[in-house]
Structure 1
Amino acid sequence: MSTFSKFTDDELLLLITQGKVGAFEEVYERYWAKLYNSAHKRLDNHAICEEVVQDVFVKFWEKRFQINVSSALSSYLYTAVKYSVIDYYRRELLKNTFLTDKRSQSPLDNSNEENIFLYDLKKHIERVVESLPEKCRKVYQLSRNENKTNKEIAVLLNISEKTVEGHLTIALKSIKASLCIVLIFINAYLENYFF
């Protein structure tokens, strides 16, 4: 049982705005399954539901010092999930529209360029992983490099599975954020190449 388990949501929120990781972990433990179920009613896809909920928690943690919750914490989190689901559908619609527009174009053989790009991308991700906090980096490496399950990682590091999920979420969010810059350059390249 967490030392924060007896705290109310309002007390936890105050502690989170002060940067208390334990309070955040308690909110994560308290609401993860409920938020997942809420997302699942709208998405009906396990992996995407997990990603939506993880993104909500990552954004919540990243904005902890600026957070202004005027209603109950649970309402805030459920609303965040609702808007994340809407964003997911919006991205899918845009992606499907883009794919439909591009189907008529012939594929180009860029295997050497693709290999160079993939190598550079892998090196970029490795640098991002190395910059993560130690425990977060260790959890990510055990999961992705050694193919350990969350349960195995939790046992190895003597932490809860939810904490493992939290560390993976933070690691993946950091990688995604760093890749935004790469994607901007790719987008500029593709626009120049195709248009």
Structure 2
Amino acid sequence: MGDKGSFTDDELVSLLKEGNSPAFESIYNRYWDRLFDYTHKRLNNTEICEEVVQEIFIKLWEKRETLVLTTGLMNYLFSAARYSLIDQYRKQLLQNTFIAASKNKPGADNSTEDNIFVKDLQRYLEDLIGSLPPKCRSVYELSRLEYKSNKEIAEILNISEKTVEGHLTKALQRLRLGMGDVLVLLIACLLK
């Protein structure tokens, strides 16, 4: 077999599905740095980013025989990275919420800590929004960030109002699901 570096992603995926470890190694070498850079720009924690990227490749190898790529290998890997980052943000937020709640003392000045927490929460929400499917995200942003009516959104995106409602419902469900753990902890902390 020739040099795996000259193979296309689709060819490498076909070989990977057959259990070809050199094909996996080529995919790993081709995408590891790019995935690390992508995660590091967003998380800025070398150890966690290395762990995230390693986990993506472990899962790729484990799922190689049943792997179905509808949008290509690169999109699959970067989507996996995005979802892993969201999980990391969720863990970080939960940890920060717990720490903030345990340190919360009457009369203490927690303004800096509160600001950091709010920024973390905002970044987490932005990543959740960014993980929505493109149409869904566009509808959500037009509705919630630009305060457009469903009718205006339908005209802008050239879709029906019912489709706008469907996308908005889907977006809100996914955001509620993604924020679920964080909201439960926030409420618990506020009730203390």
- Normalised by the length of structure 2, the TM-score is 0.49
User: Higher Cα Rg: structure 1 or 2?
Assistant: 2
